[in-house]
Structure 1
């Protein structure tokens, strides 16, 4: 299947909204504004990862080398999509800070 510019735009919006929502909900539950922004790189590693988690214990060197190869061979479209997810988590942090300043204590 061919990846078009329309797919890219929909994916960017989808990842932004998805991770904005996840970060917003985690912030409401944990009351830690930037928690998801710090956790997001780990989430990206799980998305990009093609190796089972247990392989990092059994063959650590090969697993991390494979992970590095997978990260460095990402397409530009994939990097843009993953970056939009990071922007969503950061936007959720700023939204929470703004809501707290305006007096919404439940956030």
Structure 2
């Protein structure tokens, strides 16, 4: 159970972390939405309890277990993960705005 200050700090940390990673990744790869596409895969690796190979060997049970894990997330966890997704999306928007304004590095 998270306190309100812990929730606020964790939300800000996820936002800043994935904004920063997304900004650098988008800048290096010269693409706009790289982190926004990769972020759901990162969330799956954080939430799931099964190994990566089992998604290919035992597909049905792995995805059903993933679905039950996603549904059992607490509301605070969902807020934190959504903040990370917002950071990833805003990094793409920031890179696009910088490119449109003439910054060739982005």
TM superposition score normalised by structure 1: 0.93
Listed one character per residue, the Cα deviations across residues 46-98 of structure 1 (whole Å, up to 9, x for unaligned) are: 11111111222332221111101001111110000000001101111111111
Alignment RMSD (CA, Å):
1.1
CA distance in structure 1 between the aligned counterparts of 2:60 and 2:97, rounded to whole angstroms = 44
Residue 26 of structure 1 pairs with residue 18 of structure 2: no
CA distance in structure 1 between the aligned counterparts of 2:41 and 2:34, rounded to whole angstroms = 12
Name stretches of at least 5 consecutive residues in structure 1 with no aligned partner.
Answer: none
CA distance in structure 1 between the aligned counterparts of 2:55 and 2:99, rounded to whole angstroms = 41
Residue in 2 that maps onto 1:83: 82
Offset of 1:39 from its aligned partner? 1.7
> Paired residues, what number?
106
